[in-house]
Amino acid sequence: MNWYVDVLKKYAVFSGRARRQEYWMFFLFNLIISIVLAVIGRVIGFAALGAIYSLAVLLPGLGVAVRRLHDTGRSGWAILVSIIPLVGWIIVLVWLASEGKPEQNQYGDNPKHAAAV
């Protein structure tokens, strides 16, 4: 749960780097919460509940995705490749799942080594 809260604390931070674990744990908790809210919204008859949540986590989700791309040595603007249907999504998914650069890059120190120290 700390991974989810840490991303929310960096609400609109697009600088720096994010580890794979930080991104994917946020993704997992976000998915679980979205499913639970969709079920609750259907039960109470308020389908907009999921949409409100999605809007609330849009900026943190983009922020952690951009920081994750920074960890792989790519610009945050590379997220725009996902505009291309299917092919773009697969490319960005591969980038988000790939190992980060072990050395310091233009976006900062390696977060994996910073967390270990």
pLDDT tens digits, residue range 30-89? 999 999 999 999 999 998 898 899 999 999 999 999 999 999 999 999 999 999 999 999
For the residues of 31-67, what is the DSSP string, one character each? HHHHHHHHHHHHHHT-THHHHHHHHHTHHHHHHHHHH
> Token pair of 2, please?
């700390």
CA angle, residues 97, 1, 17, in degrees to nearest 5:
40
| Residue 74 near residue 86, CB atoms below 8 Å | no
* pTM, to two decimals: 0.89
